[in-house]
């Protein structure tokens, strides 16, 4: 019996900066339609992992397969084509300051799909409504928005071109708990509506449980645990348990200078 091809498959992914090994042979499968949450401490390599998958960093070794195709073996144009099916919400939203909100949301539609500006604007307004923002917000500049609104606009930009895979980098960082829960709810709604596969990295446990149906923990450059997101708080793995419960004592030793 053949297994279904994972939407995203990582094998032996390695990345180092000078002497510092950040990713030390990451293996991870994400099945289609799954919401995978990757947790880990600060500096554990979560963001580097995401940047390698997105093509923002070149890994030193390993395989990154999307729909069974190793994107590291593709040429520039083919990689760009593969990336066209990816949406990304950055930690700080990373909205383009020089463009109004609607143009931020419609950026991919204008650049990738060469949609006309009126049609792209209409689609942007539609997507803004999906994340709970009024059409009038489309005319504002990103600097005029609150942190929560910026996250919503970032989410709208990520889903505007209806991607197959969505990536979220610390989606609730810098938000109050209520706004964090609202953003998580929007993420779940959007992922379900689009039927996309989602990968989120976070160290916010409440957010991890809300967004994910699968979870994995990265520590010292390796995936050390993977399982259902519901078992995060009671995984049976001492490293995961220390992290999820925020205990000072345990196998994870933080590097502190006194």
Is the Cα torsion angle 44, 47, 48, 53 positive or negative in sign?
positive
User: Does residue 212 bind other proteins (CB under 8 A)?
Assistant: no
Looking at residues 107 to 136 of the shown chain, list those that interact with other proteins (rule: CB under 8 A). Answer: 107-108, 111-112
**If binding is defined by CB under 8 A, does position 56 make contact with other proteins?**
yes
Contact, 172 vs 180, CB < 8 A?
Answer: yes
83 binds other proteins (CB under 8 A): yes
Q: Minimum CB separation from other proteins for residue 23, in Å?
A: 18
91 touches other proteins (CB under 8 A): yes
* Contact (CB, 8 A) for 20 and 38: no
Quote the least distance from Cβ 223 to other proteins, whole Å. Answer: 23
Backbone angles phi, psi at 9, to 5 degrees: -135, 125
- For residue 69, the minimal CB distance to other proteins (Å) is 16
d(CA 149, CA 75): 37
Interface with other proteins, residue 20, by CB under 8 A: no
Site track for other proteins across 33-52, x = CB under 8 A: ------------------x-
- Our CB check for other proteins shows the closer of 5 and 74 to be 74
Q: How is 132-164 classified by DSSP, letter by letter? A: T--GGGGGS-GGGS-HHHHHHHHHHHHHTT--S
80 is a contact residue toward other proteins (CB under 8 A)? yes
Residue 14 sits in the site that holds other proteins (CB under 8 A): no
CA dihedral 93, 96, 102, 103 (to 10 degrees): -140
Nearest CB to other proteins, comparing residues 95 and 183: 95
Q: Which residues of the shown chain bind other proteins in the complex (CB under 8 A)? A: 51, 54-56, 80, 83-84, 86-88, 90-92, 94-98, 107-108, 111-112, 157
């Amino acid at each position: 019996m053949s297994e279904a091809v994972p939407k995203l498959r990582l094998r032996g992914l390695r990345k180092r900066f000078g002497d510092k090994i950040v990713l030390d042979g990451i293996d991870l499968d994400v099945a289609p339609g799954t919401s995978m949450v990757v947790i880990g401490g600060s500096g554990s390599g979560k963001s580097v992992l995401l940047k390698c998958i997105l093509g923002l960093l070149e890994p030193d070794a390993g395989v990154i397969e999307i729909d069974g195709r190793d994107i590291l073996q593709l040429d520039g144009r083919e990689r760009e084509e593969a990336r066209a099916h990816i949406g990304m919400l950055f930690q700080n939203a990373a909205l383009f300051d020089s463009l109004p909100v609607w143009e931020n949301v419609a950026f991919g539609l204008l650049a990738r799909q060469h949609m006309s500006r009126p049609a792209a604007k209409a689609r942007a307004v539609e997507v803004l409504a999906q994340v709970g923002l009024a059409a009038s917000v489309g005319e504002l500049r990103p600097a005029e928005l609150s942190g929560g609104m910026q996250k919503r606009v970032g989410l709208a930009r990520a889903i505007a071109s209806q991607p197959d895979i969505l990536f979220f980098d610390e989606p609730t960082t810098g938000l109050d708990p209520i706004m964090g829960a609202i953003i998580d709810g929007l993420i779940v709604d959007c992922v379900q509506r689009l039927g996309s596969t989602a990968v989120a990295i976070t160290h916010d446990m409440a957010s991890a449980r809300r967004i994910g149906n699968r979870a994995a923990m990265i520590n010292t450059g390796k995936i050390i645990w993977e399982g259902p997101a519901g078992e995060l708080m009671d995984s049976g793995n001492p490293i995961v348990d220390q992290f999820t419960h925020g205990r000072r004592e345990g196998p994870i030793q933080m590097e502190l200078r006194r």
